[in-house]
């Protein structure tokens, strides 16, 4: 067989192995992720859905996305459904992202907190943990022995598991202020070379758990002085934004602060909060 024939055969095999995500199938997954997580997927996301779910078709050795859809929607498909959600949700974040919010926390919130009770923060879309760990570094630095605690939740169990470990690539080092880097981060050695580990005492102070923002939170969580809900509402339609914020507000103390991303807005979403700074609101 000539080299050209081998190339042609490989190309034919490649084309045969590619499974097309039909418009109808994409519409099914689009409706399902909206129903589960309130995430509105634009038509432009069809290639993303195709590529991220392709590995699950290979795992099950099936040749259509419709067959995979039937697996995740079957009565015994709960575990696979969570895998699908993990694959289709976006989890990009950084340490000390949107630094003006951390300046506001330092200058306006922490120093003016109510004394005599623990200072409590909920990072309600924490992704892989960079946001709550950034907050933990700041609280440990500024509050000394005063009591504080951070709750951190996300829809994806995969990123929650990663966050609990607190292990990150060393390319994240420039994101962390140098004093915090030396105090709260350990440089990986041996098999962990090229990584940094959040110090254990901080990892123990952050309580990670899985939570779907389209569901009512557990009342036993109590009230928080600050709620961070950043870089997640951009994936919701207006109705879902209203529902999510309405579910969270009962867990924010009177006088508490509600942070969203600078790319987001609560205009038309809620009139129960007053604006105090860009992307920062307060509950009267």
To the nearest 10 degrees (0 to 180), the angle between helices 46-60 and 78-88 is 140
Domain boundary among 38, 62, 88: 88
The CATH number assigned to the domain holding 28 equals 1.10.155.10
Taking residues 238-242, what's their average pLDDT?
A: 95
**Is the pLDDT score of 77 beyond 50?**
yes
Provide the domain count of the chain. Answer: 2
pLDDT at 9 over 50: no
Q: pLDDT tens digits, residue range 96-111?
A: 999 999 999 999 999 8
Residues 67 and 139 in one domain: no
Among 11, 273, 259, 7, smallest CA distance to 123 is for 259
Whether residue 31 is found in the same domain as residue 65: yes
Provide the mean pLDDT of the chain.
90
Q: Which of 88, 111, 135 is the last residue of a domain?
A: 88
* Whether the predicted pLDDT of 193 surpasses 50: yes
Domain residues for the domain of 58 are: 3-88
Query: Do residues 245 and 106 share a domain?
Result: yes
**Model confidence band, residue 6 (pLDDT cutoffs 50, 70, 90):** very low
77 and 50: one domain? yes
| Over residues 109-135, mean pLDDT | 95
* Shared domain check, 111 and 54: no
- What is the enclosing helix (H) or strand (E) of 130? helix 130-143
Clarify whether residues 39 and 132 are in a common domain. no
CATH code for position 235: 3.40.50.150
Query: Is residue 77 located within the same domain as residue 7?
Result: yes
**Is 59 domain-assigned?**
yes
Q: Packing angle between helix 23-37 and helix 46-60, nearest 10 degrees?
A: 90
Percent of the chain surpassing pLDDT 70: 93
> Do 221 and 82 share a structural domain?
no
194 lies in some domain: no
Residue 262 has pLDDT above 70, yes or no: yes
Residues 64 and 147 in one domain: no
Question: Of all residues in the chain, what percent carry a pLDDT higher than 90?
Answer: 77
Residue 15 has pLDDT above 50, yes or no: no
Residue at 234 is within a domain:
yes
Q: Residue 2 above 70 pLDDT?
A: no
239 occurs within a structural domain: yes
DSSP state for residue 174 in the 8-state scheme = G
Catalytic residues: 52, 154
Q: How confident is the model at residue 182 (pLDDT cuts 50, 70, 90)?
A: very high
Q: pLDDT-based confidence at 147, cuts 50/70/90?
A: very high
pLDDT band at 249; cut points 50, 70, 90 = very high
Q: Is the pLDDT of residue 139 over 90?
A: yes
Residues 237 and 35 sit within 8 Å (Cβ to Cβ):
no
Assess whether pLDDT exceeds 90 at residue 176: yes
């Amino acid at each position: 067989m000539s080299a050209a024939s081998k190339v042609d055969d490989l190309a034919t095999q490649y084309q045969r192995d590619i499974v097309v995500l039909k418009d109808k199938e994409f519409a099914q997954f689009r409706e399902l992720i909206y129903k589960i997580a309130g995430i509105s997927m634009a038509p432009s996301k069809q290639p993303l859905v195709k590529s991220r779910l392709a590995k699950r078709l290979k795992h099950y050795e099936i040749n259509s996305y419709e067959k995979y859809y039937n697996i995740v929607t079957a009565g015994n498909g709960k575990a696979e459904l969570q895998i699908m959600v993990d694959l289709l949700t976006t989890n990009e974040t950084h340490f000390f992202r949107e630094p003006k919010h951390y300046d506001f926390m330092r200058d306006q919130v922490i120093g003016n907190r109510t004394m005599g009770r623990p200072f409590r923060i909920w990072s309600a879309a924490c992704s892989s943990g960079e946001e709550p760990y950034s907050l933990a570094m700041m609280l440990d630095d500024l509050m000394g022995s005063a009591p504080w605690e951070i709750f951190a939740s996300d829809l994806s169990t995969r990123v929650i598991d990663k966050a609990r470990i607190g292990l990150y690539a060393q390319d994240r080092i420039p994101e962390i202020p140098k004093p915090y880097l030396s105090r709260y981060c350990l440089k990986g050695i041996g098999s962990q070379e090229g990584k940094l580990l959040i110090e254990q005492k901080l990892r123990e102070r952050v309580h990670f758990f899985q939570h779907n923002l389209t569901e009512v939170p557990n009342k036993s969580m109590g009230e928080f002085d600050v709620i961070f809900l950043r870089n997640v509402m951009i994936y919701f339609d207006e109705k879902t934004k209203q529902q999510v914020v309405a579910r969270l507000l009962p867990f924010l103390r009177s006088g508490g602060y509600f942070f969203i991303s600078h790319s987001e807005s609560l205009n038309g979403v809620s009139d129960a909060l007053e604006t105090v700074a860009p992307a920062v609101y307060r509950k009267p």
